[in-house]
């Protein structure tokens, strides 16, 4: 029987790349042909905002990334302000074992209770300190999720494979910072201030 405190420590996903020092504005790099299409087909991704049209931004985040947490309310404000904006969330659990365990819970919850995922994501981004498996399960429990069933799903190979796929994609495409963002043929590494985000979204509209 798998218990909640032993949330598949074995087979944990290794960090994809070293994390760069964050910059005041995200640094742009070119993406290879087809990278954006591949990103949109990654398993375990979650869509927020507009349901139709092209994705404005794809965010590769880690629940233990301080700049991801800092950006979260700014992203939420943009989603509320712009009804045409769509954000694709990719769980990029590259900052150690706690991130992997939190990522497993997050991917499992997105699979089983997608209607609860936006609230889950918001609470996870508001955590002070380390966010691991126990913390993620506590958030899920507060949202009324059956944590025993969620734990079983989190330990499935398909969930581990989803995190590995995101880590492999980031490694192959030079996503060496969290957060990293994809828009069209470009990737942006590091924290993206609201003005830069609005400019990119406007270009993608």
Whether pTM exceeds 0.85: yes
Q: Is 174 exposed, middle or buried, given 0-12, 13-18 or 19+ CB atoms closer than 10 A?
A: middle
pLDDT digits (tens, 9 = 90+) for 71-82: 999 999 988 888
Residue 58 has pLDDT above 50, yes or no: yes
Confidence of residue 54 (pLDDT cuts 50, 70, 90): low
Of 65, 58, 63, 57, which Cα lies nearest the Cα of 22?
65
Say which residues have a Cβ less than 8 Å from residue 180's Cβ, sequence separation at least 6: 59, 60, 92, 170, 187, 188, 189, 190
Share of the chain above pLDDT 70, in %: 86
130 Rama sector, left if φ>0, alpha if ψ -120 to 50, beta otherwise: beta
Asked if 203 and 54 touch (Cβ cutoff 8 Å), the reply is no
Residue 53 has pLDDT above 70, yes or no: no
Say which residues have a Cβ less than 8 Å from residue 34's Cβ, sequence separation at least 6: none
Instruction: Map out the domains of the chain as residue ranges.
Output: 27-204
Confidence of residue 3 (pLDDT cuts 50, 70, 90): very low
pLDDT at 146: 97
- Better-predicted residue by pLDDT, 137 or 79: 137
Domain 27-204 part of CATH 3.40.50.150: no
Kindly state the average pLDDT of the residues 59-83: 93
pLDDT digits (tens, 9 = 90+) for 186-198: 999 999 998 898 8
Q: How many residues does the chain have?
A: 205
Separate counts of helices (H) and strands (E) for the chain = 8, 6
Q: Is 171 exposed, middle or buried, given 0-12, 13-18 or 19+ CB atoms closer than 10 A?
A: middle
pLDDT digits (tens, 9 = 90+) for 6-18: 344 334 443 344 3
Beta-bridge mates of residue 188: 28, 181
Q: What are phi and psi of 3, to 5 degrees?
A: -100, 170
pLDDT at 204: 67
């Amino acid at each position: 029987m798998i218990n909640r405190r032993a949330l598949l420590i074995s087979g944990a996903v290794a960090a994809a790349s070293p994390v760069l020092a964050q910059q005041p504005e995200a640094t742009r790099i070119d993406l290879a042909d087809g990278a954006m299409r591949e990103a949109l087909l990654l398993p375990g991704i979650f869509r927020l905002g507009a349901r139709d049209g092209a994705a404005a931004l794809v965010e590769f985040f880690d629940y233990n990334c301080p700049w991801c947490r800092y950006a979260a309310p700014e992203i939420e404000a943009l989603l509320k302000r712009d009804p045409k904006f769509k954000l694709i969330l990719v769980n990029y659990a590259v900052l150690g074992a706690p991130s992997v365990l939190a990522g497993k819970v997050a991917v499992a919850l997105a699979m089983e209770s997608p209607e609860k995922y936006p609230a889950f994501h918001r609470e996870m981004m508001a955590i002070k300190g380390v966010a691991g498996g126990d913390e993620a399960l506590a958030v899920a429990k507060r949202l009324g999720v059956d944590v025993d069933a969620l734990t079983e799903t989190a330990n499935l190979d398909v969930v581990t494979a989803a995190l590995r796929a995101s880590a492999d994609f980031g490694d192959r495409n030079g996503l060496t910072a969290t957060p990293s963002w994809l828009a069209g043929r470009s990737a942006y590494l590091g924290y993206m201030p609201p003005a830069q985000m609005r400019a990119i979204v406007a270009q993608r509209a």
